[in-house]
Amino acid sequence: MKQFWLVMVSMVWFSIVIMGVEERPYKLIKQDGKIEIRDYQRVVSAEVTTMGDRGEAASNAFRILVRFIQGQNATQTSIAMTAPVSQSRDDEQGWDVSFFMPKHMNLDTVPKPIDSRIRIKELMDIQYAAIRFSGFSSRYNLDKHEKKLRDYLVNHEYNFIDKPTYAFYNPPYVPPFFRRNEILFEIIK
């Protein structure tokens, strides 16, 4: 039992300290329990759309984007990994998966992708409602928290785009009870 806890603590420490990555910055506007209203400033993202169920599509897109940030780009520049990795349904039953670039990068400094499936986008001044939760990214867990956030927004009379974005902050080896996941809806200002 002692070895189990040693392994668990080591994995968490490794995830937090060694694998610490820059997170997409935001300004907290309002907090109500696990629900937050946030203002996000300018950020550049690398995005890929893949088809299939969410897990398969995300896995395929992740590999494409990892190659891009590892230097398979026009300038062979390595780009630091950031968090979260986000996923949202695209309009054609595929999944858009995004990596956010470090905050010092802009459209002029992000290397051009070699892979034509990668799109570089600049997102400006967006307000989101978010709910944070732990555990696996199972359909049940996502649906449960998506419903909580949607109900909150409706009950508090927010205008929002009813297209959730899923945000995942941890590598897959992190135990479920230490994982940070979020559902976000864009608020219409």
pLDDT tens sequence across 29-85: 999 999 999 999 899 999 999 998 898 999 999 999 999 999 999 999 999 999 999
Angstrom distance (rounded) from CA 92 to CA 117: 15
Q: Is residue 31 part of a domain?
A: yes
Residue 113 preceded by cis peptide, ω within 30: no
Rg (the chain; Cα; Å): 17
pLDDT tens sequence across 75-97: 999 999 999 999 999 877 799 99
Q: Are residues 50 and 112 in the same domain?
A: yes
Averaged pLDDT, 104-123: 96
Averaged pLDDT, 112-129: 96
Q: Is residue 10 part of a domain?
A: no
pTM over 0.85: yes
In the structure encoding, which two tokens stand for residue 16, read together? 């937090």
pLDDT score of 23 more than 50: yes
Q: Are residues 34 and 94 in the same domain?
A: no
pLDDT at 18: 42
pLDDT score of 6 more than 50: no
Task: Provide the CATH number for the domain around residue 95.
Answer: 3.20.80.10
Range of the domain at 115: 44-81+90-122
The distance of Cα 99 from the centroid of its chain, to the nearest Å, equals 7
Backbone angles phi, psi at 67, to 5 degrees: -60, -40
| Residues 6 or more apart whose Cβ sits within 8 Å of residue 145 | 131, 133, 181, 183
Please tell me whether residue 42 adopts helix, strand or coil conformation: coil
Q: Are residues 133 and 97 in the same domain?
A: no
pLDDT tens sequence across 122-180: 999 999 999 999 999 999 999 999 999 999 999 999 999 999 999 999 988 889 989 99
pLDDT at 93: 78
